[in-house]
Amino acid sequence: MPSLTAIRGFKDILPKDIPYWRLIEEKAREIAKRHSYREIRPPVLERTALFSRGIGEATDIVEKEMYTFEDRSGDKITMRPEATAGVTRAAIEHNLLEAGRALKVFSLGPMFRYERPQKGRLRQFHQLDVEAYGDPGPYVDAEVIGLLYEFLKSLGLKDLILVLNTLGCPVCRPAYRQALVSYLEAHFSDLCPDCQRRMELNPLRVLDCKNPGCRAIVLNSPKIGDFLCEPCRTHFSQLTEALSILEIESHLDPYLVRGLDYYTRTAFEVHAGGLGAQNAVAGGGRYDGLVSALGGPDTPGIGFAVGLERLVLLLAQNELIEEGPEWYLAILSQEAIELSLKIASSLRANGHAVACDWEPGSLKSRLKRADKMHALKVLMLGDDEVKGSYVTVRDMATGEQEKLPIESFTGQKNAI
Ligand code: HAM
**Ligand 1 centroid distance, CA of 283 (Å):** 6
Question: In angstroms, how far apart are the furthest CA atoms of the chain?
Answer: 94
Ligand 1 center to residue 177 CA distance, Å? 25
Residue 290 belongs to some domain of the structure: yes
Residue 413 has a pLDDT of 46
39 CA distance to ligand 1 middle (Å)? 18
Nearest CA to ligand 1 atom 18: 121
Residues near ligand 1 (Cβ within 6 A): 82-84, 113, 115, 120-122, 125, 127, 129, 131, 259-260, 280-285, 303-305, 307, 309-310
C-alpha to C-alpha distance for 35 and 37, rounded to whole angstroms: 6
- Report the chain (416 residues): mean pLDDT per 10 consecutive residues: 89 94 97 97 98 93 96 97 98 88 95 96 98 97 98 92 97 96 94 90 89 93 97 98 97 94 96 88 98 96 98 87 90 95 94 95 96 95 93 95 91 53
Report how far residue 43's alpha carbon sits from residue 56's, in angstroms, rounded to the nearest whole number.
20
Asked whether residue 280 falls in the same domain as residue 360, the answer is no
The reply to whether 243 and 153 lie within a common domain is yes
pLDDT at 411: 66
* Pair (260, 333) in one structural domain: no
In a domain? residue 22: yes
Residue 184 backbone dihedrals phi, psi, to 5 degrees: -65, -35
Report if residue 202 sits inside a domain: no
On whether residue 205 sits in a domain, the answer given is: no
Shared domain check, 310 and 345: no
β-pair partners for 125: 111
What number does the ligand 1 atom closest to the CA of 258 have? 2
**Distance (Å) from CA 307 to ligand 1 centroid:** 6
Predicted pLDDT at 414: 45
Range of the domain at 381: 327-410
pLDDT at 199: 87
- Torsion sign over Cα 315, 14, 328, 399: negative
Backbone angles phi, psi at 285, to 5 degrees: 165, -175
How far is the centre of ligand 1, averaged over its atoms, from the C-alpha of 3 (Å)?
A: 32
Q: Choose one of 7, 82, 121, 130 to mutate for the ligand 1 pocket test, by most ligand atoms within 8 angstroms of C-beta.
A: 82
Residue 315: beta bridge partners?
none
CATH number of residue 83's parent domain: 3.30.930.10
If asked whether residues 27 and 48 sit together in one domain, one would say yes
Nearest ligand 1 atom to the CA of 303 is: 33
Would residue 177 count as lying in a domain? no
Out of 55, 113, 124, 127, give the residue to mutate to test ligand 1, the one with the largest number of ligand atoms within 8 Å of its CB: 127
For the chain, how many residues are written?
Answer: 416
Are residues 118 and 158 both part of a single domain? Answer: yes
**Candidates 10, 310, 311, 313: which one to mutate for ligand 1, based on the most atoms within 8 Å of Cβ?**
310
On whether the pTM is more than 0.85, the answer is yes
Burial 239-263 (b: 16+ CB within 10 A, else e): bbebbeeeebebeeeeebbbebbbb
Tell me the C-alpha distance between 363 and 27, whole Å.
40
The residue nearest atom 11 of ligand 1, judged by CA position, is: 307
Is the distance from CB of 247 to CB of 146 less than 8 angstroms? Answer: no
The neighbour count for residue 186, using CB atoms within 10 Å, is 10
- Is 221:177 a contact under the CB 8 Å cutoff? no
- Specify whether 248 is located in the same domain as 373: no
Please name the residues in contact with 261: beta carbons below 8 A apart, sequence gap of 6 or more.
Answer: 55, 56, 58, 59, 202
- The answer on 103 and 147 residing in a single domain is yes
| Closest residue by CA, ligand 1 atom 21 | 121
Regarding whether 289 and 141 lie in a shared domain, the answer is: yes
Asked if residue 114 is part of any domain, the answer here is: yes
In this prediction, residue 323 carries a pLDDT of 83
Q: Looking at the domain assignment, is residue 406 inside a domain?
A: yes
Residue with CA at minimum distance from ligand 1 atom 4 = 283
Strand order in the sheet with 45-47: 45-47, 76-79, 67-70
- Quick one: three-class SS letters along the chain? CCCCCCCCCCCCCCHHHHHHHHHHHHHHHHHHHHCCCEECCCCCEEEHHHHHHHHCCCCHHHHHHCEEEECCCCCEEEECCCCHHHHHHHHHHCCCCCCCCCEEEEEEEEEECCCCCECCECCEEEEEEEEEECCCCHHHHHHHHHHHHHHHHHCCCCCEEEEEEECCCCCCHHHHHHHHHHHHHHCHHHCCHHHHHHHHHCHHHHHHCCCHHHHHHHCCCCCHHHHCCHHHHHHHHHHHHHHHHCCCCEEECCCCCCCCCCCEEEEEEEEECCCCCCCEEEEEEECCCHHHHCCCCCCCEEEEEEEHHHHHHHHCCCCCCCCCCCEEEEECCHHHHHHHHHHHHHHHHCCCCEEECCCCCCHHHHHHHHHHCCCCEEEEECHHHHHHCEEEEEECCCCCEEEEECHHHHCCCCCC
Same domain, 250 and 375: no
Question: How far apart are the C-alpha atoms of 13 and 209, rounded to whole Å?
Answer: 32
Going by CA atoms, what residue is nearest to atom 23 of ligand 1?
307
Give the residue from 315, 341, 359 where a domain finishes. Answer: 315
Select from 289, 315, 341 the last residue of a domain. Answer: 315
Closest listed residue to residue 208, CA positions, set 129, 283, 158: 283
Single residue among 259, 281, 315 that ends a domain in this structure: 315
Same domain as 331, residue 308: no
* Same-domain check for residues 354 and 302: no
> Whose alpha carbon is nearest atom 22 of ligand 1?
307
Counting Cα atoms < 13 Å in the Cβ hemisphere of 324 gives 18
pLDDT at residue 416 in the model: 57
List strands edge to edge, sheet with 377-381: 354-356, 327-331, 377-381, 390-395, 401-405
Q: Is residue 8 part of a domain?
A: no
Ligand 1 midpoint to CA 282 (Å): 6
| Number of domains composing the chain | 2
- CATH code for position 399: 3.40.50.800
CB contact at 8 A, 302 and 286: yes
Residues 6+ apart with CB under 8 A from 174: none
